[in-house]
Every structure is written in structure tokens, then in C-alpha cells.
Structure 1
Amino acid sequence: MSRTRRAVGFDVVDLGLRASRDAKGVPAELLDGYLEDLAELSTTGVQLGAKQLRVRHAAGARAAADGVPLRDLVDLYLSATWLAWSSLPGVRDATGADAVRAVGEAVFRAADAAVTALAEGYEEAQRWSVRREESFRREFVDDLLDGRNLGHLAERAERIGFRLAASNVVAAMRAEEPIAVGGEVARNVETAVQLRLGSRDVLVTTKDGLLVCVSPALAADVPEEFVRQVSAVMGVEADWRVGLGRAQSGPGGAVRSFEQARDALDIADRLALPGRLHKAADLLVYQVLLRDSAALADLVGEVLEPLRQARGGAGPLLDTLAAYFACGSVATVCARNLHLGVRTVTYRLQRIRELTGYAADDPGQGFTLQVAVLGAKLLGWPDAGS
């Protein structure tokens, strides 16, 4: 709100409108008594006080809230200053060059102080706006991926420039170090994905130390692009994985897909699966095993517990079984993959048969052993016990 207008000896309204036109139409109301201040100090030489600078600070904040570019706001004030110069009472009444110079110094110092206060108010308002939007975005992301307050998610998504699809799929990246909110990795991947895809339908964010990408189920190329950009930012030498949930529909679709992506990461870590991208759809058999963890623990204990009696413990024999089944039950390939001699592998397989009563090369007994080995990896046996 403009302050009470003071008599200054020239048409403040007309001059303000001229300055506004010169500054691309920035509202003259943002001058808010500046011309009157200039007129007064041109005669008194007294610089702008704290109260007057607070008015400039508030004008800068209003301009930021109204979306006025800072450069145009500064242009408004500088235009008003030079347009008002010849009409200022201190300039009109000055006698001699020294007097004019003194008025000029006072006016330019005031203009400098005014612009500084404007910029401070503008930047402070912008920082507050950014913090408020970041808080809103964080709250939206938490609700989306935790399954809370689902009723108005689509409306809230629009506010952050994201269109929530009817059916969504979520990819989540886990690295050695948690991905920080607003950190360099998150910013760089988000920027790269948005530049590459140019879509409002893709949201890249962080959650629980993971880097998360939410996209429509129909956009099948998004997860692969997400992995490519993560690889470009993280590097091929870094230790990271991406879990991909299945497409899920409805208001809670994103949280269900996110949970599946995290489960895929957990399974890939426990089983030391090769590759970077691990799809929940490809790991359903492990999910089936984990759904009855008590029965799985019974199987592991019943079949593999005797391996603890071996010299060196169960670990080397368990690793041999895992490698043997992973290569299609070929002892020579297993030996090469483990950097062991073939005789060592065959000896271990024989020792496993002696201890457990199960032969790895027997179709039926081998299947039982293989499921027990998978269960051991999923449950962390033998370190976590049976």
C-alpha cells in the first residue's frame, strides 16, 4: 500500500508512469514513496533511514511474489531516478556546480541504498518461496511413496509440474552412500532425465536414501533412460543398483510399485545378482519363497544345517553350491568361476552329499538343495542362523 503522498513540486504519478513504461511496464506502485524520498533528501542531504529502507525491502518482496523480474524492478527505480533528476527541488534550487554535485552524490547514494534494499527483499522472498515449494514437494513425495493422503495427489502433483498417471511404475536406485535430498547426484540425474525426456509425466526425487523415478506405466523407455542417466552420473565403477517395481494402478499404485522396487533391491543384494537393473517381475519366485519365511527357514535348517560340521564352516560349501547351480550344474564352469580346481569342486560336492544326504547332480535332490541355497542367501544363513 502506498504511503501518504507528500508535496514535492512535480507530478509524482506522471513521472512514475513514465518510469513504468521505460521499465517494461513494471507497476509504478512498487516505487511506493521513493520519488518523494528523493525530493526530500535532495534538499536536506539526509540519507534514507531504516524505516524508508524497510519500505524498499517490502517492495522487493512484493515484486518477487508478483513474478516481476529483479532486473526490471531495478530498471524501474533507476529510470525513476534519472527522470526525476531535473525536477528535484534540490537540483532546481542549487546554485553552482558544487551544489549540484552535492545533490547528485546524495541522490545516487540514496538510489544505491534503495536498490540494495530492493534486492535483499526480493532475494529473501525468493528463498522463502523456494523453501516453501521444497517443503510442499517433499510432503507430496512422502505421501505419494508412503501411501498417505491419497485423495488429492493428482491436484497436488500439478502444483509441482508433475502429472500423475492412472498407472505408474517406480524405479529406485541404491548406492553405497545414501542419496541426499537436493544433493548433486539427485539434481544431476533429475536434470538429465528431464532434458532427455522433456515430460511432465516423470518425477525424479529421493526417498529414504534412494533415488526414485516415478513414471507412467505406458512409458516403457523411462526406466532404461533412468538407468542410463544414473550410470552417467554415478560412473560404471561405483557400487549401485536399480530396482524396478511392476506397473500398479490407482491412487496407491506408486507406493506399491515403490515397495516392489525396494524388495527387488534387497533380493539382488542378498543373492549378489549380476547387473544393474533388477525387475520385480523377474524376481517373483524369490518373493514366493519369502512370503513364508518360517517354512523357508525350516527348509534351510533341515537341509543345510549339517554343513556347519565341515572344516572351515558352511560358507565355502554354500558358495560352491550357489556357483554350481548358477552355471547350469557344470563342474568345470563352476571351478573356473570360483577360481578353483575341478577336483576341489567335485570334492566339495561329494562332501556336501556326505553331510546332507543330498546329491547336487540328482534332479530331485538337486532341486531341493538349490531352493535351500536360495533360501540361505535370502535369509542370511549361516551368519543369521537358521
Structure 2
Amino acid sequence: MNGTGVPTDVLRRVAVAGADDAGGLPVELLGDFLEVLSVAVCEGKPLQRRALHRFRARGEEAAGQGVALRALLDLYLSSAWRLWRELPAVIAAQSDPNAVVAAGEVMLRAVDDAVAELAEGYQLARRTLVRSQVSARREFVDDLLTGGADVVGLLGRASGFGLHLTGPHAVAVVTADRDFTDDSSLVKAVERAVLGSKGDSDALVASKSGNLVVVFAAPDRDAMDHVLHGIRSALGPRTSDDGRVQLQRRTMDGAWQIAVGRPRTTAAGVVASYREALDAHDLAQRLSLNSPVIDARDLLVYRVLVNDRPAVTDLISTLLTPLLEARGGAAPMVDTLLAYFAAGRNTAKTARDLHLSVRAVTYRLDRIRELTGQNVNDPNDSFALHAAVLGAKLLDWPATPLS
């Protein structure tokens, strides 16, 4: 027997039964709740402020352990109703019925006060924990994509966020008319699509500088295609007649495009793949490429052109400057060549894309041959012309004079 009027072994039995009801939570989470509650009922007094502060601390402790709030409340309420029948006033109910009424009032108030403090402590701790986790995640994402952190430490932190960087990983960057934020529903939809229902995939989804970034394991092409398909499915269908990619209105208004870097290993490889994806997006913008997915490996030839500006300038000057003599200048001729090569050298499709007649397209191609001496139907000439007009697109020629 103790100062509560309830035997210690009874209190222990009640606590264990309440913990079982709550799904097997640790009995220690109850603290001295049963003892304090018994004393309050026996003395007919509400719980003291000091005791209530202890329950708030128990709520914070449970939040830190990852215990669900529903289970925690179940633990306390189950223990309380089991304790009721063991209280002296209830056991002696026949001899003093009024004492039972008084005990009930005190107990209900005490349980209400204790549970309120418990829940408040839990919720405050969860908010602090979430803020801490969000901050740590943001710091990790920044370190991972900029490459400014210790590599060994970064590898250790990566596993805590679901990444195992020993194998090849690729980075996909989604750009849109409106900025992405980590708490947006669209980002969460992409995360569900990439991580799967169990959330155990080797991937990380986050926002960075207004873009959506997906770092994912890419052991082979099938794995890359699977992730890219998941991203596209989450973003929604394309619904535009002018070639722009549109998001569903229920998620976000505006265009989106995915650029993906090549797979590489280690944390340094992630940085390289991320930068490559950004470069691919930049090239796609400069070349007016409207495909929903831009793969960096498909743009290697464009990067060669960008990196050797003197050679590209010489190529344009040699092959394309004669087009300045055409009626209307060189720009319509360059646009015709770009559309022609993009259409797989199909004259009819080129005409549809440019909203011209087939005859007009044929005339322009013939005029290009007359002025440049290059035949678009000759493989060697076609290759040279294609490289030249791509370079012109990159350098914004003829709108911008060659330097």
C-alpha cells in the first residue's frame, strides 16, 4: 500500500494493461500519472501545476520517440478507466455513495487536465522536431547539389534521407512557369510517384532555386525511364497546341519541362549530373526544344558547339552568311532549315510546322542550295548545314551579328 490508497502492485497491473490496450507502448510513458491521479481523487483536489508540467514533458518525450498521439492518449485513458474500479471510494461505494460521485468529478477533471497538458507538450515537440528535420533536410540538399560539404560526412547523412550513393545516380530537374516549394501538393505528388507506396525507393525529391529536383538511383536505362515516367504522370498531361507543355489546372498553371543529367557514382557524381541537367535545360531554352523530357546525353553535340565558339562562328560565316542575300534575309531560311531537320527532312511536315505550303518550303530549300552551294539531300552537306543552323540558333544569328 502507498499514499494513494491503492496497492503498488495494483497500480503496476493497471499500467501494464493500459499499455497493452495502447498497442504495447512502454509503461514508462505513464510516469507517475496513476499515483498522482489516485492521490487527487483520494484527497478530492485537482492536479497541481507541478504535476501537470510533468505530463507535458511526457508528451514531448513521446513525440521524440515517434509515438503516435492517438496511441499515447489511449495509454492514459485506458489506464484511467482501469484505475477507477481500484479506487477506495469506488470499492466502498455501497457504504458511501456520495463519495463515488465526488471521486468521479475529481477524476474526470484530473484526467482532462492531464491529457490536455500531454497533448500540448506532444504537439509543441512535434512542431519543433518537424522544423528541425526540414532544416536538416534543406541543408543536406544544398550540400549535396553544390558539392561544398565533406564527402565522407555527406555519404553518411545521405542514408538518413533514403539515398545510398555508392551506386550510380542521376538528377532530374523540373522547371515550370511557377516556382516549386517543398510544401506544395505537386512536389508531394511527384514524391509519391517516385518513391512508391512504401517510400523505400533510393531517391530524394526536393525544391531548389524554384525548380523541382529529383535525385534517384539509375543503375540502367529502364530505371531512369521508370522514374521519368513517374514524374511525368504526377505533373499531368500536356494540353497545348503550340508545343508548350501544360500542367493540369488542378495542380499548377503554366509550362513544365524535365531535364535529366547522365548517371554517375558518388556524391561528386550527383553534383555533376545536377549541373548537367541545368545545362541541358539552358540549351533547350536557347534551341526552343519543347520536348517534355530533355536528356543531357542527347545534347552532347550542342555542348560541343557551345564550347567551341570560334569554330561555330567560322562555320556560320562560311555556310550561312550567303543567306543574307535571300528575300526577307537569312532568318526565314534558317528557320526553314531548323524545322526541316527537326521534321526528319520531311517536306510536308516542315510545311505544316511552319504553316506554309509544301511548294513554299521546296522553293526555300532550292534557294538555300543556290546561295550556299549546299544540298540538304546530300548527307555531307546536310550534316554541315544542320551543325551550322544549330550554331546560329545558339548564337542568335542573324539577329545578333557574329563577333
TM > 0.5: yes
- % same residue: 42
**TM-superposed deviation, 1:261:** 1.7
Say if 2:17 and 2:79, in contact at 8 Å, map to a contact too: no
Q: Secondary structure at the match of 2:124?
A: helix
> What residue in structure 1 maps to residue 360 of structure 2?
344
Once the two structures are overlaid, the 10-residue window that deviates more, 171-180 or 33-42, is 33-42
Once the two structures are overlaid, the 10-residue window that deviates more, 13-22 or 50-59, is 13-22
> What residue in structure 1 maps to residue 372 of structure 2?
358
> What residue in structure 2 maps to residue 253 of structure 1?
269
> What residue in structure 2 maps to residue 130 of structure 1?
130
Deviations 1:212-261 (A, max 9, x none): 33233324323212222222222222232222211222330111111112
Once the two structures are overlaid, the 10-residue window that deviates more, 340-349 or 220-229, is 340-349
> What residue in structure 2 maps to residue 59 of structure 1?
58
Once the two structures are overlaid, the 10-residue window that deviates more, 364-373 or 113-122, is 364-373
> What residue in structure 2 maps to residue 283 of structure 1?
299
**TM-superposed deviation, 1:108:** 0.6
Give the aligned residue type for 2:295.
Answer: K
TM value normalised by structure 2: 0.80
Deviations 1:126-149 (A, max 9, x none): 232222222222222222221121
> What residue in structure 1 maps to residue 241 of structure 2?
none
Q: Secondary structure at the match of 2:196?
A: helix
Once the two structures are overlaid, the 10-residue window that deviates more, 92-101 or 67-76, is 92-101
Gap regions ≥5 residues in structure 2? 239-245, 247-254
Q: Secondary structure at the match of 2:267?
A: coil
Q: Quick one: distance in 2 between partners of 1:325 and 1:68?
A: 61
**TM-superposed deviation, 1:104:** 0.8
> What residue in structure 1 maps to residue 4 of structure 2?
8
Once the two structures are overlaid, the 10-residue window that deviates more, 313-322 or 334-343, is 313-322
> What residue in structure 2 maps to residue 3 of structure 1?
none
Choose from 390, 395, 403 the match for 1:374: 390
Give the aligned residue type for 1:327.
Answer: A
**TM-superposed deviation, 1:347:** 5.1
Say if 1:358 and 1:366, in contact at 8 Å, map to a contact too: no
**Cα 1:104/1:164, change in 2 over 3 Å:** same
**Cα 1:341/1:51, change in 2 over 3 Å:** same
Q: Quick one: distance in 1 between partners of 2:390 and 2:199?
A: 42
**TM-superposed deviation, 1:60:** 0.8
> What residue in structure 2 maps to residue 20 of structure 1?
16
Once the two structures are overlaid, the 10-residue window that deviates more, 36-45 or 123-132, is 36-45
Deviations 1:100-126 (A, max 9, x none): 223212211210221122122222222
Is 1:266 matched with 2:267? no
Q: Quick one: distance in 1 between partners of 2:322 and 2:122?
A: 73
Q: Secondary structure at the match of 1:190?
A: helix
1:195-344 aligned at under 5 Å gives the runs 195=196, 199-237=200-238, 238=246, 239-273=255-289, 275-293=291-309, 295-296=311-312, 300=316, 315-329=331-345, 331-344=347-360
> What residue in structure 1 maps to residue 251 of structure 2?
none
Q: Secondary structure at the match of 1:61?
A: helix
TM value normalised by structure 1: 0.83
> What residue in structure 1 maps to residue 69 of structure 2?
70
Once the two structures are overlaid, the 10-residue window that deviates more, 154-163 or 22-31, is 22-31
> What residue in structure 2 maps to residue 166 of structure 1?
167
**Cα 1:316/1:42, change in 2 over 3 Å:** same
Give the aligned residue type for 1:318.
Answer: V
**Cα 1:308/1:126, change in 2 over 3 Å:** farther
Once the two structures are overlaid, the 10-residue window that deviates more, 297-306 or 42-51, is 297-306
**Cα 1:90/1:314, change in 2 over 3 Å:** farther
Give the number of aligned pairs: 379
Q: Secondary structure at the match of 1:148?
A: coil
**TM-superposed deviation, 1:297:** 5.0
Gap regions ≥5 residues in structure 1? 1-5
Give the aligned residue type for 1:172.
Answer: V
